[in-house]
Amino acid sequence: MTDGTPRTAGVPEPAAHAEMPAADTEMTSLERTALYKSLGNPLRRRILDYLGRHGEANSTVLARELGESSGTTSYHLRKLAEQKLIEEIPEKSGGRERWWRNLPFSHTTPDPATMTTEEYAAAEHLALLKIEVDTRLFRRAHEEYRGPQGWAQVQRTGTWMTKADLHDFVRAYKELLDRYSHPDDAVPEGARRVNLRFYAAPDTGDEGNGDVSRSR
């Protein structure tokens, strides 16, 4: 399970996004568990989503827009900042008025076999939330499809790959995202925020695609 939104802020849709501590491998199981719980918290997801869509906000703005108290939004903002999912905007903050923005998000979930029971439960809960959102996005893409020149696009395929081929493909996919994405502070005219998803899984033989392996 990988989440990432290169150069943009938000939650991984239900939102979209945060720059993780140096490298994922440096995170402990407890830190990853806390991360998954934060990303699985409904209000924190809404806060990250709002920041991703609007760029910045303070606790008062978020309280008004999300229907919460400023004390509640302030508490969750501090918790998100502790995990480096958001950062304060120094030039706009003063006294008790603190403004916040998201950080770019990139995180790769480790092998479930290496997780503690609590970490796995938190990761599984987050994954189920994302599946619900991704399902709605998949339906929208089909409903809003207006041909190959439209904003909504759908691609589905099955092909033969070695594991090395698949890993090379994933790396190339990430490079394409970097090549065609624009940072928040340099969005060209006519650009829209686009939600993309990538999945790959070996055929199990029950998807109607025939045999699952082939000797050569």
pLDDT in tens, 26-57: 789 999 999 999 999 999 999 999 998 888 99
Residue 152 DSSP one-character state: -
pLDDT score recorded for residue 73 = 96
Report the number of secondary-structure helices (H) and strands (E) in the chain: 6, 5
Torsion sign, CA atoms 132, 133, 138, 142: positive
8 Å CB contact between 11 and 39: yes
> 86 - beta bridge partners?
102
Residue 92 DSSP one-character state: T
pLDDT in tens, 135-161: 999 999 999 999 999 999 999 899 999
The span from the CA of 21 to the CA of 35, in Å, is 11
pLDDT score recorded for residue 183 = 85
Compute mean pLDDT per 10 residues along the chain, 216 residues long, and list them: 39 37 65 93 94 92 96 95 92 82 87 94 94 93 95 93 96 95 89 91 73 44
The span from the CA of 73 to the CA of 86, in Å, is 13
Q: Which amino acid is at 2?
A: T
